[in-house]
Chain A
Amino acid sequence: MLIGKPSDIPSSEITSKSAYREFLNRRRFLKAAAITGASMLGADRLAEVLEPRTRADAAVTKLKTVYSPLTTTGEQLTSYQDITTYNNFYEFGVDKDQPAKNSGALPTRPWSVKVEGLVAKPRTFDIEDLLKLRPLEDRTYRHRCVEAWSMVIPWVGYSLSEFIKQCQPLSSANYVQFLSYYNHGVEPWATRETDIRWPYSEGLRMDEAMNELALLTFGLYGETLPNQDGAPVRIVLPWKYGFKSAKSLVTIRFVKKMPHTTWNDESSFEYGFYANVNPNVPHPRWSQEYERRIGLPFYEQRRKTLMFNGYTDQVAYLYKGMDLRKNF
């Protein structure tokens, strides 16, 4: 649920940044004491409120969220700054810092998601209705990029399965395809810097899509998604490499045959359809045994990658009997 209309009053207008900083300086001692106390109590969110992050995107608004038992615990969250300035969103440029700079023109309101293909009745969902469909949950997940870097991100959303039930897919639907927003005028970098066939297409087998971890995602850190992270709605699949989690969704299509997927089109020997996180199956260009955690000093970044990114208990049944070396 959105509290207040988006872009109603950008937070930057409420208090100027420098005035705010000055205020913070004066309160530094009190704040430090409060943060120490808050972290000691484990109240990370309180600490977060007391020490505001640098805002990469002023257009985000707060979301009302509830707790989820499916949230990942025991991991240090990656900073908001890093999550919102280190992005792979090739429509806005191939460098990690480009999406944050270039995605300002992404028109996230009004926004609708078309549901088509093998469904009882094709439908279009307005983003405001999608936000109200189910209670929004705080779900922290590990995020492992195929490029061997990783983050821990507090997403906001609800299980994709809840949405799929609303779509009433036919029994002949074996797969679901996700298509991202593409507009050359808004995203000229897409063709300037790559030879990818747009729009971005991703897909899942139906049983994968129905797994409760698959998250229809609207926000992070308790707020709506910044554009560079796939606003206003995206998929998050924590047991798969990041490229499976399509951003800025405009079409969800239920299909009989395995849909084409963007990175698989580009290089099928490097990016499989399944793309499950698997330390035992190397990428042709690098080992997947280790990953680099974002935001740590260079000598502390390297860590072992976990099978299914640590979500084996929840997802391993989906791939029983499959040769994961062939179906990488």
Chain B
Amino acid sequence: MNRKALILLKTLTWIACLSPFLWLLWCAATNTLGPDPTKTITFTTGTATLEILLISLAVTPVRRLSPRLGWLIKFRRLLGLFAFFYASLHLLTWMGLYCGFQPDAMLGDVVKRRYVTAGMAAWLLMLPLAATSTNWAIRKMGGKKWARLHRLVYIAAVAGIIHYWWQVKPGVLKPLDETLILAALLIARPVQVWLQRRKAAARAAGAPATVRG
């Protein structure tokens, strides 16, 4: 991937990731957030969080499909930070529009309502990941340690999906798409590792034959 194409793709990614936020701003300014603006803001920021998080989780398995897709890694941090950006907006919406920034209301919600607990947990899990997203932090921590910490993203994503399921009415199947995608992305990792090992083993076994040929 050449530099020009990369810059173009990055710009497009920025535009795509910012679009839900810009759309909300536009609707708020033109008073077109719909009948229940609070809900529109909550749903838009929540959905954007999950979707961008899922795309960021797709980077690694897709990259492994071909050595030519290595450049995809350059988008992972951007996507992860945008997911955190929307998660934070989502959190702020809940704090302000649902709890009126009243500490007792917020605390009560986190303690009493499991979907809020799960959502809060997801955001808290993303917080150290966002904080250690800089090159400096990676260098300082060392690649291995950093990678281990950033595995928290899997738990955050699962907590986010649980938050969604616990929030919808029983019997409503809306979070199913996101759940299946996350499940596929999580299963893809061990499957790919297993396939790679098998390939490596086959290559090792078949190596002398190639030499002979």
Contact = CB atoms under 8 A, between A and B. Distances in A.
A193 B173 contact: yes
B143 interface: no
A262 B173 CA distance: 17
B35 A82 contact: yes
A194 B166 contact: no
A286 interface: yes
B113 A284 contact: yes
Given A285-B115, A286-B113, A194 B171 contact: yes
Contact of A86 (B35, B98, B172, B173): B35
A270 B172 contact: no
Contacts of A284: 113
A282 interface: yes
Interface residues of A, number: 28
A295 B108 CA distance: 28
Interface in A256-282: 266-267, 270, 282
Contact of A298 (B97, B114, B171, B174): B97
Interface in A278-320: 282, 284-287, 290, 292, 294-299, 301-302
How big is chain B's contact interface, by range? 20 to 34
B36 A86 contact: yes
A270 B100 CA distance: 24
A163 interface: no
A302 B97 CA distance: 7
A258 B171 CA distance: 23
A301 B96 CA distance: 12
Given A287-B108, A292-B39, A195 B173 contact: yes
Interface string B157-180: 000000000110111111000000
What are the 5 tightest A-B residue pairs by CB atom distance, in nearest-first order?
A: A298-B37, A86-B35, A267-B170, A82-B35, A294-B35
